Structure 1
Amino acid sequence: MTSPLSGFSGASAASSVSGADKEKSKNLGDKDTFMKLLVAQLKYQDPSKPADSTQFLAQTAQFTQVEKLEGIVDMLKGQQLITASSLVGKSVEYMDAGGAKLTGTISAAKLNGDAEPLLRIGTTEVPLSKVMEVQENQPGASAATPKP
């Protein structure tokens, strides 16, 4: 019997991936894909040579690790949003895309997909990592001003 996974290995598999498939291949680490691969392996195994039980247990343990890591990632995203939202209303010093130091007051925070949180300062969205200093909001602070 042939396996649906045969014929793909290492670099040859990566080089045969089309543009649309490249986006899907970024998510190969998710638990659904892992489970599909495990089920396919069991479905297409040679009945006269069943899978080694230690390999099966190792793969099951890997699946559990993938699930736990996804839980940690979700928890970290939530923590990032809490951290970013706690800065709303605070005056910050940040570096813009051109490298200039600016100051302003954060009016909103949002998650940017899988990337880091974005903070809205005036009409500009600033990644959390660009914030260099956080201060209590000062009366009369402007939305985004150059810092001398």
Structure 2
Amino acid sequence: MVVNAVGTSTQVQSAADTAASKTAMDYDTFLTLLVAQLKNQDPTEPMDSTEQIAQLATFSQVEQTIQTNKSLEKLLQSSNLSQAGAIIGRTLTSADGSASGVVTEVRVLADGLTAILANGAEVAVGAGVTVR
């Protein structure tokens, strides 16, 4: 039994890291601009505090959404690995019935699972596939 998750793990991790990196950079940029705005504002017409709080709250929501997406990506990866392990050794038939056989290996890819059958056929695991 072989579960190949190297490709997905790397792709999901790099996508999550890229999003986190962009968030950190954007957050730092936002804070830099906010500080510059506060330093350079007209003392006779200071920035509206309500607007400032709204800006901070909006940016905080975006940052939290990105963190939630990272957690969901990890959860989906874990789910894919569980599914992969569950179909090894079982008989799988493709949705169109053109390929059938015992699953000897499963590749976990960014777009889903691909089952490798004993006869060498590769079948994308998705809607319509039968597992017995």
1:48 and 2:44 aligned: no
1:38 and 2:27 aligned: yes
1:1-148 equivalences under 5 Å are 30-44=19-33, 45-46=36-37, 47-49=39-41, 52-95=52-95, 101-112=98-109, 114-121=110-117, 122-129=119-126, 132-135=129-132
SS of match in other structure, 1:30: helix
- Larger RCO (alpha carbons 8 Å, 6+ apart): 2
Letter in 2 for 1:30: A
SS of match in other structure, 2:40: coil
**TM-score of the pair, normalised by structure 1:** 0.60
Q: Confirm or deny: 8 A CA contact 2:16 2:70 kept in the other structure.
A: no
**TM-score of the pair, normalised by structure 2:** 0.67
Provide the C-alpha distance between the structure 1 equivalents of 2:16 and 2:68, rounded to a whole number of angstroms. Answer: 16
Structure (1/2) with the larger helix percentage: 2
Provide the C-alpha distance between the structure 1 equivalents of 2:17 and 2:73, rounded to a whole number of angstroms. Answer: 16
The answer for the alignment partner of 1:22 in structure 2 is none
SS of match in other structure, 2:87: coil
Provide the alpha-carbon RMSD of the alignment. 2.6
Provide the C-alpha distance between the structure 2 equivalents of 1:68 and 1:27, rounded to a whole number of angstroms. Answer: 10
Number of aligned positions between the proteins: 106
Provide the C-alpha distance between the structure 1 equivalents of 2:73 and 2:101, rounded to a whole number of angstroms. Answer: 30
Q: In the TM superposition, what whole-angstrom CA distance separates every residue of 1:98-137 from its partner, at most 9, and x where no partner exists?
A: x56221110011211x2212211132332111662111xx
Q: In the TM superposition, what whole-angstrom CA distance separates every residue of 1:36-89 from its partner, at most 9, and x where no partner exists?
A: 112112213422346812211221122012101210111111101211220000
Provide the C-alpha distance between the structure 1 equivalents of 2:129 and 2:114, rounded to a whole number of angstroms. Answer: 14
Which sits farther off after the overlay, 125-134 or 77-86? Answer: 125-134
User: How many percent identity over aligned positions?
Assistant: 9
